[in-house]
């Protein structure tokens, strides 16, 4: 983000996990942050307070990222309260794992709606104003599952692969307007999504990771911080894996 750009960011799925770490890191970087959450209002209000204690402004809005009208209302609320949006980070995501043969249609639909439609809805809601100002940075959170696939995660992998194709297309469309679009693809990160892993699954994962540990949400947030800043001003359409080497 150039120094004269609006220091306002929106983060979807901001009340927990990677999204929460991103909100705090961007606040530390001097951004006012509007973030949406699905259901945990108590966690969202705590995060608002933490941002304010860092000296920034925060706005938590309950929104369903799979619903375009809900997202548009969220973005409008952030613009009205905090000002023009200079950065957007899409972190909202869910899993509904099952082998394809056993996957209910509703689990396929739910994951695609939240993970992929959610990215579309956020980006669609912020891109016009960014184009008018001829600047902005978008960072979409995908997954290494979207790059390499993963058994029992055909719905999740499809949604995360879709984010990569979407983001590269947006990078080509919006680059002429000074807007950069990049993707962060985490591997195993210590969040509530991975907290439920059984001991055997965790051990197999650690054995497959050259660094022999899971990553932290703060490490992902550090990468997002770089990508929305002017330190990455010549980077767009890129996919950054942060996975401890599990895919090499």
Contact status, residue 72 vs residue 122, Cβ threshold 8 Å: no
Mean pLDDT of 8-31: 97
> In the predicted model, is pLDDT for residue 235 greater than 70?
yes
Mean pLDDT of 113-119: 98
Instruction: Return the CA Rg of the chain.
Output: 17
> In the predicted model, is pLDDT for residue 103 greater than 70?
yes
Binding residues: 13-16, 156-160, 189
Q: What angle do CA 205, 209, 212 make, to 5 degrees?
A: 95
Write the pLDDT tens digit of every residue in 152-174: 999 999 999 999 999 999 999 99
Beta bridge partners of 59: 34
- Nearest Cα to Cα of residue 214 among 235, 186, 183: 186
Q: Is the dihedral of CA 8, 121, 140, 222 positive or negative?
A: positive
Beta bridge partners of 8: 32
Write the pLDDT tens digit of every residue in 45-81: 999 999 999 999 999 999 999 999 999 999 999 999 9
- Proportion of the chain above pLDDT 90, given as a percent: 92
Architecture of the domain made up of 8-242: 3-Layer(aba) Sandwich (3.40)
- What DSSP letter does each residue of 5-26 carry, written as one string? S--EEEEETTTSHHHHHHHHHH
In the predicted model, what is the mean pLDDT of the chain?
95
Binding residues for NADP(+): 13-16, 156-160, 189
Give the SS3 label for residue 97: coil
Write out the catalytic residue numbers.
156
Please state whether beta strands 239-242 and 32-37 pair in parallel, antiparallel, or not at all (unpaired).
unpaired
Q: What angle do CA 124, 33, 94 make, to 5 degrees?
A: 60
What per-residue confidence (pLDDT) applies to 1?
A: 46
The model's pTM is: 0.95
Write the pLDDT tens digit of every residue in 71-99: 999 999 999 999 999 999 999 999 999 99
Q: Show me where the domains of the chain are located.
A: 8-242
């Amino acid at each position: 983000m150039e120094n004269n750009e609006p220091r306002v960011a929106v983060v979807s799925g901001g009340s927990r996990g990677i999204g929460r770490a991103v909100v705090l890191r961007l606040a530390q970087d001097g951004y006012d942050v509007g973030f949406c959450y699905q259901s945990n209002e108590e966690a969202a209000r705590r995060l608002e307070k933490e941002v304010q204690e860092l000296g920034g402004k925060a706005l938590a809005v309950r929104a369903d990222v799979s619903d375009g009208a809900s997202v548009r209302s969220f973005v409008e609320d952030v613009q009205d309260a905090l000002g023009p949006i200079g950065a957007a980070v899409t972190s909202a995501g869910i899993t509904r794992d099952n082998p394809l043969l056993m996957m209910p249609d509703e689990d396929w639909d739910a994951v695609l709606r939240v993970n992929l439609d959610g990215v579309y809805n956020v980006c669609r809601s912020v891109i016009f104003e960014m184009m008018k100002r001829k600047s902005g940075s978008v960072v979409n959170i995908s997954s290494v599952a979207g790059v390499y696939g993963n058994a029992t995660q055909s719905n999740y992998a499809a949604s995360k692969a879709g984010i990569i194709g979407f983001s590269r297309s947006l990078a080509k469309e919006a680059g002429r307007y000074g807007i950069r679009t990049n993707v962060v693809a985490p591997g195993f990160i210590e969040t509530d999504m991975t907290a439920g892993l059984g001991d055997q699954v965790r051990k197999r994962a650690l054995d497959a990771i050259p660094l022999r540990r899971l990553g932290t949400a703060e490490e992902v947030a550090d990468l997002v911080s770089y990508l929305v800043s002017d330190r990455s001003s010549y980077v767009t359409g890129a996919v950054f894996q942060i996975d401890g080497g599990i895919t090499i």
